[in-house]
């Protein structure tokens, strides 16, 4: 990891820019798969699954028995750990339910909001070597709490046509309606258009490779909403001179192991702590199974020594990190200065892994600088907040004249008339 000392303010804009990534032109491939799904439905899904996942499936839908049995196929220790995470994530997201609050804006005019779960949502869970069952928890728990009527989950099968039992266990635990063995562009297409087996959904959630990302982006052109734009994961750590170098290095590496395109940033006013952390990084790196991936990510990464803590915070806000760890004695104080970040970890013991798995906060967060304009996934992501208004005779008499005046000034005379007919009748 390269170290910079007091970079000039002029350089900041280029320093916060994420490592350039050549984005392949995937729209054509996506369109082809989407077209095929619209034409051939389930048949296309079986064909693509055979082609890309090398699995010859008899059925796309996971049977209820397999979901029920999943708890027996994982260790008791893993099951108990998932249950701990389930409890904490549920507790945190449950409190995000908005209470109905009726507001009388003018005498006789009462307005309020009510949340309704999006009726049908889809969750995508990538395949590959590691089963990302934690993401099932992070998406299906708030979906269920939001009152979504139908929660479907698509994930690619392995060569033997199987889904990892930890994924199935989490789906069962959270109340997912149906699980389907389908991955990649074809899964996103199926959830966008619907097939005989897989229902179309209104919003698609979840991570994925560049194909899945391109497909989700494209799905928006066909009426589906998506959770947020995707990008490589990242962490920014601000460490003061009293930070624990071993902890900070471990946190940097836990982000770096995600992928060669991950980025980790370390900021400090202390040259000494930066040096200690760099030493620790080298030491810990050698022991990691995914050391090649992490080493590659560290090449794109930076340690920056600033003169003041204020500069550290300013740089962090400009960078807008997905994860921000404040490994500082005055971390509580610093939180007030956080403007742009996805999720913030305060103090020595709040490691990013805690939020990734089990503390209760959501791990689906805005990357790639999108923390400037997007929030992470929460209960809000699964509801629509509908406004309601109730207006009495007195209410329309109170605000009617203002509406008439404004509608006329906007030259919308039918808008004005809708009030006029009411006021006239009330005068009779």
Which residues 378-407 are close enough to bind a second copy by CB under 8 A? Answer: 378, 380, 383-393, 395-396, 399, 401-403, 405-407
Q: Restricting to residues 72-101, which ones interact with a second copy according to CB under 8 A? A: 74, 77-78, 80-82, 84-85, 87-88, 91-92, 95-96, 101
Instruction: Give how far Cα 355 sits from Cα of 59, 136, 324, 362, 369, Å.
Output: 36, 14, 11, 7, 19
Catalytic residue among 234, 257, 311, 323: 323
Among 32, 35, 119, 333, binds a second copy (CB under 8 A): 119
Stretch that binds a second copy, among 27-35, 45-53, 190-198, 411-419 (CB under 8 A): 411-419
Termini Cα distance of the chain: 80
Among 34, 247, 315, 319, binds a second copy (CB under 8 A): 247
CB 56 to a second copy: min, Å: 26
Rounded to the nearest 5 degrees, what angle is found at the Cα of 84, between the Cα atoms of 244 and 331?
30
Q: How far, in Å, CA of 185 to CA of 53, rounded? A: 12
Find, among 192, 200, 98, 79, the residue nearest to 145 by Cα.
Answer: 98
CB 136 to a second copy: min, Å: 11
3-state secondary structure of 347: coil
Asked if 61 interacts with a second copy (CB under 8 A), we say no
Rounded to the nearest 5 degrees, what angle is found at the Cα of 189, between the Cα atoms of 184 and 190?
100
CB 115 to a second copy: min, Å: 9
CB 363 to a second copy: min, Å: 10
Buried b (16+ CB within 10 A) or exposed e, 29-39: ebeebbebbee
Closest to a second copy by CB, 57 vs 250, is 250
Stretch that binds a second copy, among 183-191, 247-255, 298-306, 308-316 (CB under 8 A): 247-255
Asked if 15 interacts with a second copy (CB under 8 A), we say no
Strands 302-305, 263-268: pairing is parallel
Asked if 339 interacts with a second copy (CB under 8 A), we say yes
Catalytic residue among 280, 309, 311, 322: 322
Q: How far, in Å, CA of 174 to CA of 89, rounded? A: 11
Among 55, 140, 143, 256, binds a second copy (CB under 8 A): 256
Closest to a second copy by CB, 183 vs 376, is 376
CB 160 to a second copy: min, Å: 19
Whether 322 sits among the annotated catalytic residues: the reply is yes
Instruction: Give how far Cα 102 sits from Cα of 108, 111, 115, 358, 409, Å.
Output: 12, 6, 13, 35, 30
* Residue 325: DSSP 8-state: E
Q: Contact at 8 Å (CB) between 124 and 207? A: yes
Asked if 202 interacts with a second copy (CB under 8 A), we say yes
Whether 11 sits among the annotated catalytic residues: the reply is no
Q: How far, in Å, CA of 167 to CA of 78, rounded? A: 12
CB 265 to a second copy: min, Å: 16
Closest to a second copy by CB, 81 vs 209, is 81
Q: Restricting to residues 274-293, which ones interact with a second copy according to CB under 8 A? A: 284, 287-290
Closest to a second copy by CB, 46 vs 366, is 366
Look at the alpha carbons of 115, 213, 87, 374 in this order and tell me if their dihedral is positive or negative.
negative
Backbone Cα Rg of the chain: 25
Residues with a catalytic annotation lie at 322-323
């Amino acid at each position: 990891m390269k170290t910079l000392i007091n970079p000039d303010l002029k350089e900041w804009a280029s320093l916060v820019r994420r490592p350039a990534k050549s984005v392949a032109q995937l729209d054509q491939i996506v369109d082809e798969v989407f077209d095929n799904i619209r034409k051939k439905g389930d048949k296309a899904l079986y064909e693509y699954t055979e082609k890309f996942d090398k699995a010859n499936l008899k059925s796309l839908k996971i049977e209820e028995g397999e979901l029920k049995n999943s708890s027996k196929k994982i260790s008791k220790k893993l099951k108990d750990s998932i249950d701990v995470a389930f409890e904490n994530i549920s507790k945190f997201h449950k409190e995000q339910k908005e209470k109905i609050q009726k507001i009388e804006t003018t005498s006789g005019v009462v307005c309020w909001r009510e949340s309704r779960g999006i009726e049908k949502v889809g969750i995508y869970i990538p395949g590959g070597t590691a089963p990302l069952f934690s993401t099932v928890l992070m998406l299906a728990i708030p979906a269920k709490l939001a009152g979504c009527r139908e929660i479907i989950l698509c994930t690619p099968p392995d060569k033997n046509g199987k889904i990892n039992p930890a994924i199935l266990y989490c789906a069962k635990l959270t109340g997912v309606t149906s699980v389907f063995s389908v991955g990649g562009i074809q899964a996103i297409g199926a959830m966008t258009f619907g097939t005989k087996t897989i229902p179309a959904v209104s919003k698609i959630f979840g991570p994925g490779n560049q194909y899945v990302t391109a497909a989700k982006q494209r799905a928006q052109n066909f009426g589906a909403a998506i959770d947020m734009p995707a990008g490589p994961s990242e962490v920014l750590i601000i460490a003061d001179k009293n930070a624990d170098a071993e902890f900070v290095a471990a946190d940097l590496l836990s982000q770096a192991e995600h992928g060669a395109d991950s980025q980790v940033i370390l900021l400090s006013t202390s040259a000494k702590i930066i040096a200690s952390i760099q030493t620790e990084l080298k030491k810990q790196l050698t022991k990691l199974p995914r050391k090649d991936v992490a080493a590659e990510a560290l090449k794109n990464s930076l340690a920056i020594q600033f003169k003041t803590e204020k500069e550290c915070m300013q740089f962090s806000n400009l960078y807008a990190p997905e994860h921000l760890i404040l490994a500082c004695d005055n971390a509580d104080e610093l939180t007030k200065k956080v403007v742009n970040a996805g999720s913030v970890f305060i103090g020595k013991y709040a490691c990013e892994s805690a939020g990734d798995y089990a503390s209760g906060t959501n791990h689906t967060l805005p990357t790639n600088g999108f923390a400037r304009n997007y929030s992470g996934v929460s209960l809000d992501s699964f509801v629509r907040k509908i406004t309601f208004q109730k207006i009495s005779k007195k209410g329309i008499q109170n605000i009617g004249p203002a509406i008439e005046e404004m509608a006329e000034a906007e030259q919308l005379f039918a808008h004005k008339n809708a009030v006029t007919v009411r006021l006239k009748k009330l005068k009779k």
